[in-house]
Each structure stands twice: as C-alpha cells, then as structure tokens.
Amino acid sequence: MKQMVMSFRRSLSARFVFLMVVCAGVFLVGSALFLMYQQSLVRSFEAAQQKLEQKEMLTRQLDRAFTQAFFDVRGYFAFGRPVFKESVFQQQETIDQLLKEMEPLASLPEDERFLRDARDFFIRYFEQLVPKAVEAFERGDRRDVALIAENGGTAAVQSFQKRVARYHDALIDQMKQEYVRFKQKQQYSQAAFIALIAILLVLLQRLLRLAARQIGRPLQQFAVAAEQFAKQGEGAEWPAFDEREDEIGKLSKAFKMMMESIHEKEGHLLAQNEELLAQQEELEAQQSELEQALAMAERREQELARRNALIKGMAQSLDKKEVLTSIIDHLCAIMKAERGIIVAMDGEQTYASFGLSAMSVQRFLQQLYNGLEHRLLETKRAFAVRRELPMFERGYHDRPLHSHDLFVPVLSPDDDIEAIIVLSRFGAAFTDEEAAEAEQLGKHISISLQKLTLYEEAEKDRRLTEEIFNHLHEGIQLVDLQGTNRLMNGRMKEWFGAADDGWDGMPYAKWKQQLCALAVDERTLGDFFDQAVFGSADQLSVMMYELKEKRVVMEVYAAPLYRGEAKFGTIFVHRDVTKQAEVDRMKSELVSTVSHELRTPLAGILGLAELLLNKPLAPERQRKYVNAIYQEAERLTALINDFLDVQRMEAGRQTYRWEPVDLVPIIEKIIDAEKMGTDIHTFSVLVETKRTMIRGDSERLRQLFANLVHNAVKYSPDGGAIEVRVYEQKGCLCVDVRDEGLGIPAEALPHIFEKFFRVDNSDRRRIGGTGLGLTIVKEIAKAHGGEVTVVSEEKKGSTFTVQFPLAPVPQEVN
C-alpha cells in the first residue's frame, strides 16, 4: 500500500491510470446492476401477466359453457329433442371442470368471491332449476316450466351472466394496471442509470481539471521560461517545481542543470568565436591575393592561347595565303591591333590583311619600297610610329585622329627579311615590350614561312614526279608486303579502270581478283601475282597475258623493292606489247611462209635429183626429171629474187635511179616479149595522152609492168584480150592493165597485195607463182609516189590501175 502511494507520488502517469480505472469500474458496476434490475422487472411482469391471462381465458370459457347450457335448455324446451338435453349435461361437466381449474388461480379476495358465486349458481341451476323444469317439461306441464322460469330462473341466469361479465372486465382492468406499474418501474430505473452516468462525467471532468493543473500548467511555465532563456540567455526566471518527485520535478531539475551548463559553455564559445573571426579576416586577405594572381594567370593563359592559336594556324595549312591570313588575324588579336597586313617578300608578294580595304592593300603594296617600310629593310628591327590619319581614313570622325603603326620584320635565320608585318591601332601607342614581343613572334612566323617554302618546293617536285609517273606508257603498281595496293599510276588505272577511286589501300585479294577478271587466263596471272608478292624469288619475273575485252597483249614484270636489306614491297610494271607481239607473230609467220615457199621447190629438186642419181632410168624419164628440176630451180631463183626485192623495198633499202622515163616504150617492149609466149591472147596498147613521161627508175617500172602483164596472161589461161591503156586523170598518169581471165573473188581482193597471198582456187593453183609479184608492184608504185588499185569480177577478168603523179615528181629516195 505504501509502495503504491509512493509510486503515485512519483509518477503522474500511474496516478492518471489509477483514476481512469476507478471511473471505468464504477461505470461497469452501475451498468451491470441496471441491467439485472431491468431483467427481473420484466420477468415478474411477465409472470403476473400470464396468470391474469389464464384467469381471463378460463372466465371466457366458463361464460361460453354457461351460455351454451342456457341455449341447449331452451332448445330442448322449444323442440324437445333429447340431443339438447344430453348437451346440457355435457356442459355441466365442462363447467364443473373449469371451476376446478380456476380454484388454484384465485389469489385475490375478489377471485374467491367470484368462484363462490359461480359455484353457487352452478349448483342451483343444474341441480334445482334444470331438473325441475325438465321434469315439468317431460310431464308436459308447460305452465310449470314457465312458472319455474318466471319464479327466478331467468332472473338468476341473467344476474349470473352480468356477474361473469363484471368479473371479466375486472380482470382486464387488472392487466392494464399491471402493465402501467411495470412501465413506471422501468422509467425509474432508467432515470437512475442516467444519473449514474452524469455523476461519472462530473467525476471525469474534475479529474481532467486536476490533470491540467498538475501537468499542463507547469509545462506552460517551462515553455515560457525556456523561451525566455533562449531569447535572453541569462536572467530567465525558472519556476520552482523541484520539490515535486514526479516527472515534472525531474524535468525541472534537469533543465536547471542544462541551463547552468550552457551558461558555463557560452563564455568559452565566445572566446573561440573571436579567434575564428580573426582567422577569417586573415583568410579573406589571402583570398584577394590569390584572386589577383589568378586574374594574372588568366591573362597569361589568354595570351598563350592566342599565341598557340597563332602557331597552330601557321601549322594547320600548307597554303601560303591561308597561313598568312591566319597569322595576321591572330597577330592583330595578340597585339590588340585594329588593322594589320603581312606581305611575304617573295616574288609574288603574297599578302594577307586584317581590317583593310582592297584599295588600301593595293596602295600599300605599290608603295612597299618607297615608304617607311624601307627603314625596316635597312634596320631589320621593329619600330613604331604615330601619325595623323588622313581624311579618307577618319570615317565619320571630325577631329584629327592618330594611329600608331608598328612595323615588324620577319627575319630568316640568315637575317634576310622574309616578310613585313604592319599593325595599326588607334588607342594606346605600342610599347617597347610589345615591339620586342612582335619581333619575337616574327621569328616563329619566319620558321613557318620557311616550312612553307620547303613544302612548296617539295610539292612542286612531287607534282612533277607524279605527272611523269602518271604519263608513263607503262602501268605501274606498288604493293606492300601484305600485297595491299599502295600506289598506282594513271596508266594503270586507265587500263584496269572501273574502280577509279577504290584502288588506294585496296587489299591484295580484291585488286588481284579485279585485275585477273580482265585477263584471258585468270589463273596464270593470279599465280604470277601470288609468286611475286609472297614468293621467295628475289629476281625479276616476267609474264605475258591478254586482256579479254580490249584484245590487248600485255607484259608484266614484277620486282621486289628493298630498303636496305629488308624487302618492303613489290613493284609491278605492265606494258602494252600488242604491237610488238603482232610484229613477232608476223615475223614468225613470214619465216614459216618463206621456209614453206622455199622448201616446196627444193623438195622437188632434191627428190628428182636423188632419183636420177640412184636409179637407172629411161632417157625420156631422165629428161622429164631434169626439165622439172630446171623449172623448180628457176622458180626458186625467181622466188628468192622477188623476196629479196620485197624485203629491200619494204625496208626502204631499194636503190632507185631517178630519171625522166617514158612509160610507153617500156610497156610496148614487155608486150612484145609476152606475145612470144602465147598464141591465144591478143594484145593492145592504147595511149590517150601525150604526157607519158614520169620521173622514175626505168628498170623498176619495167619490173612493175612486166609483173602486171605477165599476171594478166597467166591468169587468163583460156586466152582473151589483154589491153593496156595509158591516160591522164586528175593530174595523174594512169595505166590500166585489163584481162578477160579468171578474175579475183571479192573476199580475196583486200589481200592480193599482201606478201605470199595467193587465191585458193584450183584453176589458179595450177598456175605457178611466188605470191610476191603484186607486192612488188605495190611497193614500186609507192616508191614513185603513186598507187595501184584493182577492179575485178570473177570469171570475167581484172583491171589493175597504176597511178603516177605527173608533177611534182617524187624526190630521190635513199
């Protein structure tokens, strides 16, 4: 108990919880009592009500039974039917039963009185009145019956009926009263319950007020005091709750201690604060120093950036004009100049300007060696001048303006002036430091200009080499060790062209495939490339191949390229050798043809001679053979002579003795000779002009016409007319030789002047010949400045026409 009291004192919450529990307990007990009372009230009310209801019911039954009995008695008397009499006795039993039932229920004096009355009437009615009347009725004495009724029978019945009704009403009243009483009791008990709740509420209110006083007020006082303390620090009045043992008391003590501790620390903090302030001032001073340094550094950086931009601009381009423009732009920015110009002192006076009109620039360039610049050329040092601007430079300013011009030389390592820079500004004059800086920059510029010069020279050389390289008749390709294409000249691209741009750096497999696709024999060329690029063979390798579409014969050689000892690539050189190949082919064909032509008569001569030597033969056979040998030998001689003639003429080694020659006697002499050998041909010579002289070699002209006339005879084996016509046409002397012989097939016409060409025709084949006669004719005519043509129709004959120029006669050849 003591302990509980102690804990109540020390703990506000315990106190509060206890009071709350008490309140709740009172409420619960009150409610329980109220409910129990209510229930008992209802139960007793219900019991009373039940009893009354039973009484009421029995009363009603009694009433009904009596009434029935009365009706039955009257019915019996009226109709005399025994059924009614029996029913009367039945009713008598029922009523007796009912009366017995009612007896235990009679609780009130009134009930007992009614029971007594009922019993009395019962006995009187059923034992006196009814038996008498029945007897009288059964005797047939109706008067007696009536008499009995009038003598109190009917009255008794009526009075009893009224008595029953009264009793029944009293019962109903009782029930009503009972209900009213119950209701009243209920209301009273409810009012009592409400009163209990009201008391509890009042109690609670008192309790809350107590709590407010005990907790709220001290807290409020604490808050005010704490606020004061926070605002003012010292001097805050602290409410005294120290004597309390509960939480408030503890809070109060703790707060007090805290305040004291804060008081203590405050002084310390103040001291520290002062120290910090001092330090801050020092830091601020340092910061401003640093800021100044930073600004300086930034200025330096900007300056450097501009210089870098200048140097970068110089390095970025290899075009002189571009470089100069970059230099002057950046220089103006560095030197803070409004305008500037740089002129290279090369032959072309390449220049670049900043902020200058084209006119000003022209004027400057014209005056280059007359003006102040001359001083620069002499002293080779930068200098600055101040001058008044002429009217045209002032623009819209009225007052005289001054410009500061800085002249800077760009000196080469040999101290030659490579370029002149002039910078102008309107504001401040150029200081000596600035002039020195400009001079310094001039050195950088000089290096850049020298580099440019070198580049230009190298570029010129490179272009020259490239031009030569591209205009070579050989296609040249350079590949590295992996076979990747590194260089290809124009000719090469022209030949293998389609992918004009794609060649640079094209991998081996790709260019090989593209090149080989153009060749007739792809694989061989591919193998050649493989061997040349990856093979170990160090020596030059060569091969020939043919291009499919162009029908061109190519020769390619590959050679390894060395830098020192190490191989670094392979060079391919392609050459168009179509002409050479053609010449070779023709040469070998000629050799083959000549050898064939020579072997054929030789075979005859040799064979026949051996036969003659080894076999005894009849004399006529011997003569036949010797004759044949002679013919073949002659043919061989003619062939050799003709061939040598052709060779000589074609090579231009034939010697001609030029003199005026009359063609007619030559032709006539030949005709005469031919006439001797035939009797189936007729000859005629028609001379239709008087000018039959040309300048020529009479011996060769004889050979020419002899060949033509002889052919005419030979190729008209069935004879016919042979006509030679000499006439003048378009300033030329023409000679036609016409025959009526075999003629020349159209397809053979273009070839008949070719060496060893002979028309394949059995008729012609029987006719001997070297196949060189017409070639000789052509060559001789050509040497005389003329030409030979032919018109022919097969089986009708041919006409050969030789034209010679009348004048001027050809110059002596050889």
Q: Does 595 bind other proteins (CB under 8 A)?
A: yes
Question: Minimum CB separation from other proteins for residue 774, in Å?
Answer: 18
Q: Does 592 bind other proteins (CB under 8 A)?
A: yes
Q: Does 760 bind other proteins (CB under 8 A)?
A: yes
Helix segments in 380-498, DSSP class H? 391-394, 432-471, 490-496
The number of residues in the chain equals: 814
Q: Does 153 bind other proteins (CB under 8 A)?
A: no
State how far the Cα of 785 lies from the Cα of 779, in Å rounded to an integer.
10
Q: Does 637 bind other proteins (CB under 8 A)?
A: no
Question: Minimum CB separation from other proteins for residue 597, in Å?
Answer: 8
Q: Does 601 bind other proteins (CB under 8 A)?
A: yes
Question: Minimum CB separation from other proteins for residue 743, in Å?
Answer: 17
Candidates 78-86, 323-331, 400-408, 613-621 — which segment interacts with other proteins by CB under 8 A?
613-621
Candidates 148-156, 375-383, 563-571, 625-633 — which segment interacts with other proteins by CB under 8 A?
625-633
Task: Copy the structure tokens of residue 726.
Answer: 């000499």
Indicate the residue among 374 and 621 with the shorter CB distance to other proteins: 621
Indicate the residue among 617 and 644 with the shorter CB distance to other proteins: 617
State how far the Cα of 122 lies from the Cα of 140, in Å rounded to an integer.
25
CA dist 351 to 345, 375, 403, 418, 601, Å? 9, 19, 22, 12, 87
Question: Minimum CB separation from other proteins for residue 581, in Å?
Answer: 16
Q: For 435, list phi and psi in degrees, rounded to 5.
A: -60, -40
Q: Does 594 bind other proteins (CB under 8 A)?
A: no
Helix segments in 754-795, DSSP class H? 762-765, 773-783
Indicate the residue among 166 and 624 with the shorter CB distance to other proteins: 624
Q: Does 585 bind other proteins (CB under 8 A)?
A: no
Indicate the residue among 273 and 600 with the shorter CB distance to other proteins: 600
Interface with other proteins (CB under 8 A), residue total 28
Instruction: For the sheet with 732-738, list strands across it.
Output: 681-687, 720-729, 732-738, 797-805, 787-793
Question: Minimum CB separation from other proteins for residue 764, in Å?
Answer: 8
Indicate the residue among 581 and 685 with the shorter CB distance to other proteins: 581
DSSP letters spanning 548-582: TTTTEEEEEEEEEEEETTEEEEEEEEEEE-HHHHH
Q: Does 399 bind other proteins (CB under 8 A)?
A: no
Question: Minimum CB separation from other proteins for residue 611, in Å?
Answer: 5
Question: Minimum CB separation from other proteins for residue 627, in Å?
Answer: 10
How do strand 720-729 and strand 681-687 relate by DSSP bridges? parallel
Phi-psi region of 235 (alpha: psi -120 to 50; beta: other; left: phi over 0): left
Q: For 505, list phi and psi in degrees, rounded to 5.
A: 70, 15
Smallest CA-to-CA distance from 378 within 351, 352, 409, 357 is with 409
Q: Does 606 bind other proteins (CB under 8 A)?
A: yes
DSSP letters spanning 325-340: HHHHHHHHHHHT-SEE
Query: Which residues make Cβ contacts (< 8 Å) with residue 54, sequence separation at least 6?
Result: 105
- Pick out residues in 530-549 that bind other proteins (CB under 8 A): none
Residue 18 CB-density burial (10 A; 0-12 exposed, 13-18 middle, 19+ buried): middle
Indicate the residue among 762 and 811 with the shorter CB distance to other proteins: 762
b vs e for 58-70, b when ≥16 Cβ sit within 10 Å of the residue's Cβ?
A: bbebbbebbebbb
Question: Minimum CB separation from other proteins for residue 647, in Å?
Answer: 20
Binding characters for other proteins, 776-795, by CB under 8 A (x = yes)? --------------------
Q: Does 771 bind other proteins (CB under 8 A)?
A: no
Indicate the residue among 632 and 723 with the shorter CB distance to other proteins: 632
Question: Minimum CB separation from other proteins for residue 761, in Å?
Answer: 7
Which residues sit at the interface with other proteins, rule CB under 8 A? Answer: 592, 595-597, 599-608, 610-611, 614-615, 621, 624, 628, 631-632, 760-762, 765-766
